Amino acid sequence: MPERRAQIRIYLDCNSPWSYMAYTKLRRDRPLLLQHAVDVEINPIFLGGINVGSGNKPPWTLPAKAKLGKYDMPRAIQYFKVEPLTQPPFFPIMSLLPMRCMLFAKENLEYEAYENAFGDLWRFLWIQHKDVSKPEVLAELLGRYFEKGDVERIIKAGTDPVYKKKLTDETAMLVEKGAFGAPWWLVTNKEGVEEPFFGSDRFHFVYQFLGVPFQDMEILPRGSSKL
């Protein structure tokens, strides 16, 4: 009999830099996860809708959270080994257009190209400070991964009532399942049991739930080389 497979579905929004941390690590881990029969699916979601639906407030609107973020972001950049991210002056953006466009690309075009383009949303927004909510900027990004005709189709889908509804429905589904932020995870183990997880710092809990062997964090003896 074929081996039963597990699945990680993670939901991300480019307004969330923590989503980029999870996106980056999950893609790095994917080759080994596949060896353990764990499939990974990366999904766009509208974080603003999740915040409204759950009653949560974005961290930058709460002074205490915003203050801690000034420390945590450099720490996360170092820990996850990603490019330095800095908040653009026009942050936050209305991410409906790029999220709808990513949803269309995921459903209709080559998956690897979709996933690569999704990652560039953060690089454009958080590194180059380009507003990916503007169709012309989004088209520039998409042109790196798709043919001109496909770029036009993707941008058009961003205002299509079909994809407006699809993204709304995805958001409502997550809120119904308890989501209150991003990155949000829905993880199903090989026994078919699904559990939710939140954040970019829950990999150990996710892998523990899936029964994937991993090396947990441990303190090294004095004199050991710093990682």
Residue-level pLDDT at 2: 79
| Spatial separation of the C-alpha atoms in residues 22 and 86, rounded to whole Å | 17
With cut-offs at 50, 70 and 90, classify the pLDDT of residue 227: low
| Spatial separation of the C-alpha atoms in residues 44 and 104, rounded to whole Å | 10
Count Cβ atoms below 10 Å from residue 165 Cβ, excluding itself: 11
What is the rounded average pLDDT of the residues 4-22?
97
| Spatial separation of the C-alpha atoms in residues 174 and 185, rounded to whole Å | 9
Query: Is residue 135, in this structure, part of any structural domain at all?
Result: yes
Query: Is residue 180, in this structure, part of any structural domain at all?
Result: yes
Query: Is residue 174, in this structure, part of any structural domain at all?
Result: yes
What is the rounded average pLDDT of the residues 154-167?
98
Query: Is residue 218, in this structure, part of any structural domain at all?
Result: no
- Among candidate residues 220, 211, 167, 217, the one with its CA nearest the CA of residue 12: 167
Q: 196-201 long-range contacts, Cβ below 8 Å, gap at least 24? A: 199/18, 199/22, 200/18, 200/19, 200/21, 200/22, 200/25, 200/76, 200/80
Strand arrangement, sheet containing 194-198: 38-44, 6-12, 184-188, 194-198
Tens of pLDDT along 78-115? 999 999 999 999 999 999 999 999 999 999 999 999 99
Query: Is residue 131, in this structure, part of any structural domain at all?
Result: yes
CATH number at residue 197: 3.40.30.10
| Spatial separation of the C-alpha atoms in residues 224 and 111, rounded to whole Å | 42
- Among candidate residues 94, 98, 121, the one with its CA nearest the CA of residue 24: 121
Please report which residue ranges of 177-213 form alpha helices under DSSP H: 203-210
With cut-offs at 50, 70 and 90, classify the pLDDT of residue 224: confident
Query: Is residue 223, in this structure, part of any structural domain at all?
Result: no
Q: Say what the pTM is.
A: 0.94
With cut-offs at 50, 70 and 90, classify the pLDDT of residue 69: confident
Query: Is residue 227, in this structure, part of any structural domain at all?
Result: no
Q: Which residues pair with 185 in a beta bridge?
A: 10, 197
Tens of pLDDT along 175-192? 999 999 999 999 999 999
Residue-level pLDDT at 58: 81
Residue 66, SS3 per DSSP: helix
Distances (CA, A) of 93 to 100, 172, 210: 14, 21, 35
Q: Which domain holds residue 179?
A: 6-210
Q: How many domains does the chain have?
A: 1
Dihedral of the alpha carbons of 112, 115, 121, 126, in degrees to the nearest 10: -110
